[in-house]
Amino acid sequence: MGEKIALRAVVPVELDGERLDQVAAALFPDYSRSRLQSWIKKGELLAEGESRRPRDKVMAGTVVTIDTELEQAVGWQPQAIDLDVVFEDDDILVLNKPAGLVVHPAAGHAEGTLVNALLARAPELANLPRGGIVHRLDKETSGIMVVARTLAAHHSLVEQLQARSVSREYCAVCVGALTGGGTIDQPIGRHPKQRKKMAVLAVGGKPAITHYRVVQRFGHHTHIAVNLETGRTHQIRVHMAYRHNPLIGDPVYGGRPRIPKGASDELIETLRGFRRQALHARALGLDHPSTGEAMRFECPIPTDIAQLLAILEREDPPLRHDAPAY
């Protein structure tokens, strides 16, 4: 049997006149649009106690309720995959995800994902939205993640993420010698032509705010620490590429490797051979869902990025002011 769900929310003024399925997605962000639509069609998601169609418009002040049982995720099979668990209790599980591991099963990745591994370690996660996942890392991004183990913990973590009270710090290595840190406040949405990519959009994008500071500047590259206020898909990668400082190795937003003039064979080989975006989720801060205790988790920089930084320090020293860049 799945976990019982009984939720209630009131349609705010800003959603007045919108479709019921769109309103439900805004009011209950823990659950996917397809799942909410299924509950509407089954009569388990009601507006003012009445069954409606997903496309029906609802007015501000309407009471929307959900009374259902969360079915187990179909087709997600547990797999014995080693996980680097940083912390674990009855409410949450914190882990260090390696680069190359997909988070969710999907077309082309039905097996061998983080969710498959989590289900083998904690079978109860099959009863939770998205297998307990409350935020994601791209396949080739490594680092710290938190997973909810109960529905209450899931609600708490989603609320903290929406309130932007969860601190997330990343280690990244970008192209270009930055002179200082800054903030990128540019909306992000689906690329208008290349639908698998995201982009900064003047119209139609969602708010996205990225703060970055310089950790170490090299001749043609910079090691930066990045903090996110929002969590848009590919946010750091898109924002850094937008300011013409893409991450080293980024196959989607980085273009061809930029080789500095006079680069050594070792530096050329390193830049051309780094096959993933140089991005690592280094630290995560949150309030424990049950105790309210402020918690912070960290994981070390992985070997490949550490080796990259060591080679840049040795082979790409800071430039003289009159030296050519590329």
- 138, 167, 97, 171: which is closest to 253 by C-alpha? 138
Name the one residue in this structure whose structure tokens are 């003012």: 48
Alpha carbon distance 324, 261 (integer Å): 7
Query: Which two structure tokens, joined as six digits, stand for 19?
Result: 């479709």
What is the number of H-type helices and E-type strands within the chain?
7, 16
Which residues does 300 contact at the CB level (< 8 Å), separation at least 6?
Answer: none
Alpha carbon distance 176, 29 (integer Å): 38
Which residues does 44 contact at the CB level (< 8 Å), separation at least 6?
Answer: 66, 67, 68
**Residue 116 · residue 105 · CB < 8 Å:** yes
CA 78 vs CA 107, 114, 131, 137, 287: distances in Å: 17, 10, 11, 20, 29
Angle, helices 265-273/303-315, rounded to nearest 10 degrees: 150
Pick the catalytic residue: 21, 30, 138, 316? 138
Contacts made by residues 249-254, CB under 8 angstroms, sequence distance 24+: 249/274, 249/275, 249/276, 249/277, 249/278, 250/277, 250/278, 251/140, 251/275, 251/276, 251/277, 252/196, 252/197, 253/197, 253/277, 254/175
Annotation says 138 is catalytic = yes
Catalogue the active-site residues.
138
